[in-house]
Homo-oligomer: A and B are copies of this chain.
Amino acid sequence: MTTKNQPLSDLEIASQAVMKPITEIAKAAGIPEDALEQYGRYKAKIDPLKITAHGEDAKVVLVTAISPTPAGEGKSTVTVGLADALHQLNKNVLVALREPSLGPVMGVKGGATGGGYAQVVPMEDINLHFTGDLHAITTANNALSAFIDNHIHQGNVLNIDPRRIIWKRVMDLNDRTLRKVVVGLGGPVQGMPREDGFDITVASEIMAVFCLATSIEDLRERLASIVIGYTFEREPVFVRNLQVEGALTLLLKDAFKPNLVQTLEGTPAIIHGGPFANIAHGCNSIMATQTARKLADIVVTEAGFGSDLGAEKFMNIKARKAGFKPSAVVIVATIRALKMHGGVAKTALVGENVEALLQGIENLAKHVETIRTFGVEPIIALNRFITDTEAELEAVLNWCQENHVRIARTNVWEEGGKGGLQLAEQVLAVLDEENNFSPLYEVTESIEEKVRTIVQKVYGGKDVQFTDQAKKQIAQIEKFGWDVLPICMAKTQYSLSDQPSLLGRPEGFTVTIREVIPKLGAGFLVCLTGDIMTMPGLPKQPAALRMDVDSDGHALGLF
């Protein structure tokens, strides 16, 4: 993502930024002083109970992307750059983002706060412990595990079957060795032996609960509703049966307040909650979005991966729960990534290749169709890259004209908000138009119908099939009356299908649902397709190897 010789790294750019005190950012955003809890000079928590709406709630602009490729699309960067551009146009704008997970930061990514001149800062704080929200979620998740195992050890009054506990422990790290473990070894005083495993924290149901709860009371109620496993009689065991929802709520109460930071250009940014979009619903918290909506006129936010994952769940799960309509959707694409969808290897992306580009653009076409299916008009953000050629650019622009799709070129990595002004103008135009948003299905439809709708209307697939195990699980879910919930698909992000290698726009495929897992706290049913990794591993040379602290106490080696 560099356009000059020896350009500055993201960390260098972020470190050189002159940040405004967070009290100043808060004041400009209309946050009253008594609602602000400072965490150092440049971070703060906002008490949502002390925020009063400034008028009509803000319109929501969602930033999504084509199916991601190793070429990189720069979705967070465009999200930040668009907000900065709107800020430059004197709009009352707030950007709402997810919190990075330490696992990927220490593993591969090194950082997840935008890039170049379109970043949120303080970059090193946000990428490390930030205000401790993920640690609070980790702690609540693992405290629940400890309460479950202690309950069994102390006599097991609830008759929990240790073989049927579905609640797993978590860590906010990439640690493959913890995926499958046996706990409780060492004899009778060390607890009951059983199989267990660790997910990464962002895959915890508590992260989903945290992001979908609309108040502290709703948070407690959702925590109480989590199913942790089944009894020997196969009856569900809820957190409320263990009577620990109060303690879990207590562990989360401070984390539950949204965090305020700023972009490099001083646009206020709320960063709060961060579930993955392949295994969870992939959006920042409802508390963050709704707090931002009370304060601003326009809220720019993003959802994880491509529109088949993050945006679909943003529409069908988050917007439905929170009760708002997304007013515009930006789809981020790059010519490089589209060429990969057209069959070009990552190592061969430098040369001009209009043919591959036009083939790969079919992936973009499907994402455009999907957003229109929701009744919202998309705008393509074509994120500039130094290797783009004029012929390639023209091919994309022509395609957009032929298909009556709005497009804007962005250059926010290099130029910040200035590089997003064209996109901002297009977004503002769409915000003035009528909006016919509605979710794609009713929650009262059968599980099979709901999944089929997603597969056909969002993925462009032919049909869906369910394994015997999934069918058994559906029967059980229906028996318990848990089927009246939205679906959270767990699918590979790389393909519109459930086969990671099928790039571009696959057609005629059937998606296989291996398992259906009720998440009654989050309030959705997870449908697993293929092997979805819920605990990543570290690469041979983790990003951590280059990290350090300089003599002034500043971070080194974050990207």
Contact = CB atoms under 8 A, between A and B. Distances in A.
Interface of A: 37-41, 45, 47, 49, 102, 106, 125, 128-129, 131-132, 135-136, 138-139, 142-143, 145-147, 149-150, 153-155, 171-186, 189-192, 216-217, 220, 243-244, 246-247, 249-251, 253-255, 537-538, 540, 542, 544-549, 551, 553, 555-557
Contacts of A251: 128-129
A547 B242 CA distance: 13
B143 A139 contact: no
A548 B37 contact: no
Most chain B CB neighbours (cut-off 10 Å) among A131, A253, A255, A556: A253
B557 A246 contact: yes
Copies in the complex: 2
Given A38-B38, A181-B183, A135 B146 contact: no
Most chain B CB neighbours (cut-off 10 Å) among A39, A138, A254, A549: A549
Contact of A254 (B128, B136, B186, B544): B128
Contact of A250 (B38, B132, B549): B549
Contacts of A154: 538, 540
Given A37-B40, A150-B176, A49 B553 contact: yes
A545 B189 contact: no
A183 B177 contact: yes
A551 B246 CA distance: 12
A250 B555 contact: yes
A139 B244 contact: no
A382 to B, nearest CB: 36
A247 B128 contact: no
A395 B138 CA distance: 52
A557 B248 CA distance: 12
Most chain B CB neighbours (cut-off 10 Å) among A38, A45, A176, A182: A176
A190 B171 contact: no
Contact of A39 (B38, B136, B173, B253): B38
Contacts of A551: 217
A166 to B, nearest CB: 16
Contact of A544 (B129, B143, B546): B143
Nearest to A554: B253
Nearest to A38: B38
A271 to B, nearest CB: 16
Contact of A180 (B174, B190, B545): B190
Nearest to A146: B175
A249 B183 CA distance: 30
A47 B125 CA distance: 16
The 9 closest A-B pairs by CB, nearest first: A246-B548, A177-B191, A135-B135, A247-B544, A180-B186, A149-B177, A146-B175, A180-B185, A132-B132
11 contacts: A146-B174, A146-B175, A154-B540, A176-B191, A177-B190, A181-B184, A243-B545, A246-B546, A247-B545, A250-B557, A253-B549
Contacts of A217: 551
Contact of A129 (B125, B136, B177, B191): B136
Contacts of A549: 216, 220, 246, 249-250, 253
B177 A544 contact: no
Given A129-B136, A180-B186, A40 B45 contact: yes
A282 to B, nearest CB: 23
A125 B184 CA distance: 32
A540 B153 CA distance: 9
Nearest to A543: B247
Given A129-B135, A179-B186, A217-B551, 18 more contacts: A37-B40, A102-B139, A146-B177, A147-B538, A149-B177, A154-B538, A154-B540, A177-B192, A179-B185, A180-B186, A180-B190, A191-B537, A216-B549, A220-B548, A246-B548, A249-B548, A250-B555, A253-B555
A548 B224 CA distance: 12
